[in-house]
Structure 1
Amino acid sequence: MTDREQSPPAPVDESDKAVAPKAAGLMRSGLVVGAMTLLSRVLGLARDVVIAALFGAGQGADAFFVAFKIPNFLRRLFAEGAFNQAFVPVLSEAATRGSRREVRELLDAVAGSLAAVLALITALAMLAAPWLVWVFAPGFGRDPEKLALTADMLRLTFPYLLLISLTAFAGSTLNTWNRFAVPAFTPVLLNLSLIGAALALTPLFEEPALALAWGVLIAGVAQLAFQVPFLARLGLLPRPWPDFAHAGVRRILALMAPALFGVSVSQINLLLDTVLASLLAAGSVSWLYYSDRLVELPLGVFGIAIGTVILPALSRRHAEQSREHFSAMLDWAIRSVLLLGLPAALALAVLAEPLLITLFHYGAMTEHDIAMAAMSLRAYALGLVAFMLIKVLAPGFFARQDTKTPVKVGILAMVANMVFNLILIWPLAHAGLALATALSAFLNAGLLGWLLKKQGVLVFQPGWRRYGVQLLGGCTVMGVGVGWLAPAWSEWLGWSVWMRAGWLSALVVTGAAVYFAWLATFGVRLRHFRMKS
């Protein structure tokens, strides 16, 4: 797998020569990450369909979902959140200012320390599996057989935390050297492993769902093994050796502490929203889940992709003390997010019912469910641009090794979210919870942007007024056109799946064509979004 953004492989010697990565095209890198993320999301949907078809909602499926949820929760909390935010800036600084030997020593110490801590946690978790299951799913305690099955599965799935954390370490290193395609493709292997295990290994077990637990373990090994050759090609494959006294390891741990707290705050926020939704009418949790799944698609493909490629680039500019280029990159990221986020949010709002019908209106999903989920989808769509802005503004702090400020802003946003929840839940029910999330996201993004501007880190480049008018015009024409062409959603209910998919595809393609044709007519060009890292 290759990217145009790849620079020639660095030499593998242990000289004192600096090993700073060469510049890469940020837009191209973002498109690569976005495309891989889209592939992963599509395969994730296929995975869910296969698991639902083979295992339904029985005891085995329940046991697997809990056994996978525990290491997966810790992965989101630790590997892909706090560790990445702390590790990339420190590694970028070492690559920019230090020698090859210093970079290798940092990689060896971090890999060894990370592996040692997680190996100990994994061993303890496997020994304490029944108690962990009871903590995360106390209701299973009433069924000893179900509890034992889940504990057996957890002993297979928990090593995934160790493997995926080392994979995150490898992926963060590759991202720092502008190799974005490999880490972005890696999550696809989890979905392929689970689909393959469900189809091929199920007949081998007395309890068929055990095949899924083995699929998770196989995926962890495959994801780590997939990235190792690319690290070796760069001459950056570490020789793990725990060294908690290493200055780089100590700095990463210091930066991780507030970042861990920040990720925890986000998870608590989601939990509280779910608790409130569970107190509303039956189906409220599901309506929010389905609408959130649709918002996550453009957020992952656009917002998270740009946030992924900009963090190592900003970290290098900070290490080089290139303040002007740092600010220009943030401005570019905001422009890019608005270019894609505004029409995506508008499309979700205009096509809410057709999207939900095409994807979910099968079996037990009723017309009432569609109407209710569409309400929360429109509320979430209102906040989509804010969700994306958070993903590109927060790296402006992380790259400068400031993990405390985004946490403080996140706590304020969480408190605001709870206040909005209590105000909006009464008149708008579940849609009020979605709207509260959107409003708190705007508060979060606004505070991050204001602080970056106040600190002189974010300086808006010329041309914003003209750009805003261009985007507003394009979105208006697209929204009016798609809304006029789309049949009433009641008609969609009687169509076959292929007719629904065909109409939806035609509307999306037409809307995109109208939007970008308008921008091109009024002077927006691709070259305006070229930015080197």
Structure 2
Amino acid sequence: MTEKNSEKNTDKAAGRSLLRSSSIVSVMTLLSRVLGLIRDVVVAQYFGARADAFFVAFKIPNFFRRLFAEGAFSVAFVPVLSEYRKQRTLDEVRLLIAQVSGVLGLALLGVTVAALALSDYLPWVFAPGFRSDPEKFALTADLLRITFPYLLFISLTAFASSVLNAYGRFAIPAFTPVLLNLCLIFSTLVMTDWFTEPLYALAWGVFIAGLVQLVFQLPFVARLGLLVAPRYEPKAEGVGRIVTLMIPALFGVSVSQINLLLDTLLASFLEDGSVSWLYYSDRLNNLPLGIFAIAIGVVILPALSGRHADNNQQAFSRTLDWAVRMVFLLATPAALALVVLAMPLMSTIFYHGEVTAYDVGKMTLSLQAYGVGLLAFMMIKILAPGYYARQDTKTPVKIGIQAMVVNMVLNLALVGPFQHAGLALATSLSAYYNVYMLYRGLRKQGAYTLQPGWMKFIALLVASNGLMIATVWWMMGDAEQWLVWGTWQRIGWMSAVVGAGVAVYFAVLIGAGMRMRHLRGQLF
């Protein structure tokens, strides 16, 4: 067998593995996101736009979780662990996990204790607009005292997930968020009657969910023989490397989260309900983001790390190109659908209980603004691992800081004329700047080269998305009519519209010759 044929067969095997792993994560994530959507519908039905205090109290620990645990930590830890797995003994891998868990656990405990002590002051930083409503401000601080320990539990859960992902066990980490949604649904439906202020039920639901998710993952880590007692050794070689990579990654991987937090901060000064409108629309925008881009990003990080450890630059570039094309294939129709179907989607999903037609109109505007940036949000999840897999965390920091500055400027420029929707639009536009800079950097470093077939691929995307949107637009009719219809009528016709759009999109792709084998490697 020639070297070229051997390399081709290796690419096919790698493509099948990546597609299979991505599909597993996507299915599990889909289950989680669907339950998350049900959770949001239940919460909206019970509280409408009156849950601003809870959303801020939940967003604060969730922000730190995404910034440290699932953001900077995972992108620093997984490449180092992958390298240890390939080049060190099992005992050395176990020692690394023990040392990292000890340092991480103690650091998280310190942050949690400090946050609980400062819980009366943190709302001043994250939602200063609440100061005009002392009751809401005090309630936010009380809820924060319950929700913040979630950071400790979920960060250790993310640590366990990183270990499982590095060993190719993607399904369990992808399934784990289902438990959060189940806990919050239970707390809303059952526990609200236990408290004078029903929002306390949601806060306790978050606390319980963090603990449940951590306990759930530990047996699976134990099956790998990697459940070891923590050791506090901050000067250990592996720990030092991870900390060095983490510090700049705090900005690089989590710019979108910082931008969303800025949205919340400024929204706290706007019309009452603005925080909730942004939350609900962001949650719906995150449905395709979580199912597709995050799933692919989770899978390719250890894969890219392995290519880098093997010093196989061509395979590295091909893997990254596969991920980029997959995101274009899935994100483009999702983004267009969110923009065009924003009003029907919001009315179908949230127009119940305490949610008014006015709320639906406001959520529609912010969903359209977030939908504009969906492709960029997804691309960040794919391009950033191209740096972190090579243990380069400095370049994304520079790009991240620039993107944050762009977002701040756009926030100030757009919040006046467009209110909460302007904040969402600013986040979307700054995300495109982030993507452009990430892509340009990878090209300059020689880490990513576009593979053959892109022009044909783009032409196919234009044709398939054009016909899909024409079909959806024709079937949608008058958007205002959706507010008049009953719940089941909205659900039935929305199912028909979405089904027709999906059928037309994939019919064009299949008619043009795209087959499953194309998704396992080079598209065309």
TM-score (norm 1): 0.85
Letter in 1 for 2:22: G
Hey, what's the Cα distance between the residues in 2 that align with 1:439 and 1:136?
22
* Range with greater deviation from structure 2 (276-285 or 500-509): 276-285
* 1:503 positional shift: 0.7
Aligned: 1:27 with 2:24: no
* Range with greater deviation from structure 2 (464-473 or 24-33): 24-33
Counterpart for residue 177 of structure 2: 187
- Residues 55 and 279, structure 2, Cα contact 8 Å, conserved in 1: no
Of 41, 65, 82, 2:33 maps to: 41
* 1:221 positional shift: 2.3
Letter in 2 for 1:95: R
Aligned: 1:516 with 2:506: yes
Hey, what's the Cα distance between the residues in 2 that align with 1:196 and 1:322?
49
**What do residues 95-117 of structure 1 show as CA deviations (whole Å, max 9, x unaligned)?**
12222122111111111111222
Of 305, 311, 328, 2:301 maps to: 311
**1:64-463 map, 5 Å:** 67-126=57-116, 129-130=119-120, 147=138, 154=144, 156-201=146-191, 210-262=200-252, 266-274=256-264, 276=266, 287-362=277-352, 370-371=360-361, 373-424=363-414, 430-463=420-453
Question: Is there any run of 5+ residues in structure 2 with no aligned partner, and where?
Answer: 1-13
Letter in 2 for 1:106: L
Counterpart for residue 3 of structure 1: none
* 1:424 positional shift: 4.8
Hey, what's the Cα distance between the residues in 2 that align with 1:523 and 1:389?
25
- Residues 255 and 403, structure 2, Cα contact 8 Å, conserved in 1: no
Hey, what's the Cα distance between the residues in 2 that align with 1:121 and 1:274?
22
Letter in 1 for 2:321: D
Letter in 1 for 2:476: A
* 1:347 positional shift: 1.4
Secondary structure at the aligned position of 1:25 is classed as helix
Of 468, 477, 485, 1:495 maps to: 485
- Residues 25 and 531, structure 1, Cα contact 8 Å, conserved in 2: no
- Residues 424 and 433, structure 1, Cα contact 8 Å, conserved in 2: yes
Question: Is there any run of 5+ residues in structure 1 with no aligned partner, and where?
Answer: 1-21
Secondary structure at the aligned position of 2:234 is classed as coil
Hey, what's the Cα distance between the residues in 2 that align with 1:156 and 1:85?
29
* Range with greater deviation from structure 2 (343-352 or 211-220): 211-220
* 1:422 positional shift: 4.8
Letter in 2 for 1:297: L
Matched pairs, number: 508
Hey, what's the Cα distance between the residues in 2 that align with 1:190 and 1:340?
26
* Range with greater deviation from structure 2 (30-39 or 370-379): 370-379
Over 3 Å counting, the alpha-carbon distance change for 1:56 and 1:524 in structure 2 is closer
- Residues 297 and 385, structure 2, Cα contact 8 Å, conserved in 1: yes
Counterpart for residue 19 of structure 1: none
- Residues 26 and 531, structure 1, Cα contact 8 Å, conserved in 2: no
* 1:49 positional shift: 4.4
**What do residues 471-521 of structure 1 show as CA deviations (whole Å, max 9, x unaligned)?**
111111111122222222232222111111111111111111111111111
* 1:76 positional shift: 2.1
* 1:287 positional shift: 4.9
Over 3 Å counting, the alpha-carbon distance change for 1:247 and 1:484 in structure 2 is same
Counterpart for residue 5 of structure 1: none
Over 3 Å counting, the alpha-carbon distance change for 1:44 and 1:338 in structure 2 is same
Hey, what's the Cα distance between the residues in 2 that align with 1:295 and 1:63?
22
* 1:119 positional shift: 2.6
**What do residues 403-452 of structure 1 show as CA deviations (whole Å, max 9, x unaligned)?**
12112112222222334445555665554444333332222111111111
Identity, % of aligned positions: 59
**What do residues 321-369 of structure 1 show as CA deviations (whole Å, max 9, x unaligned)?**
1111110010000110011111111212222221122123345655565
- Residues 321 and 448, structure 2, Cα contact 8 Å, conserved in 1: yes
Letter in 1 for 2:26: G
Over 3 Å counting, the alpha-carbon distance change for 1:420 and 1:518 in structure 2 is same
Hey, what's the Cα distance between the residues in 2 that align with 1:333 and 1:220?
31
Letter in 2 for 1:331: D
- Residues 390 and 445, structure 1, Cα contact 8 Å, conserved in 2: yes
- Residues 47 and 195, structure 1, Cα contact 8 Å, conserved in 2: yes
- Residues 157 and 217, structure 1, Cα contact 8 Å, conserved in 2: yes
Hey, what's the Cα distance between the residues in 2 that align with 1:137 and 1:486?
38
Over 3 Å counting, the alpha-carbon distance change for 1:252 and 1:46 in structure 2 is same
Hey, what's the Cα distance between the residues in 1 that align with 2:491 and 2:244?
49
Hey, what's the Cα distance between the residues in 2 that align with 1:82 and 1:162?
15
TM-score (norm 2): 0.86
Hey, what's the Cα distance between the residues in 2 that align with 1:282 and 1:159?
28
Counterpart for residue 16 of structure 1: none
Secondary structure at the aligned position of 1:241 is classed as coil
Secondary structure at the aligned position of 1:394 is classed as helix
Over 3 Å counting, the alpha-carbon distance change for 1:200 and 1:462 in structure 2 is same
* 1:153 positional shift: 5.6
* 1:118 positional shift: 2.0
Secondary structure at the aligned position of 2:176 is classed as helix
- Residues 66 and 150, structure 1, Cα contact 8 Å, conserved in 2: yes
- Residues 134 and 141, structure 1, Cα contact 8 Å, conserved in 2: no
Secondary structure at the aligned position of 1:178 is classed as coil
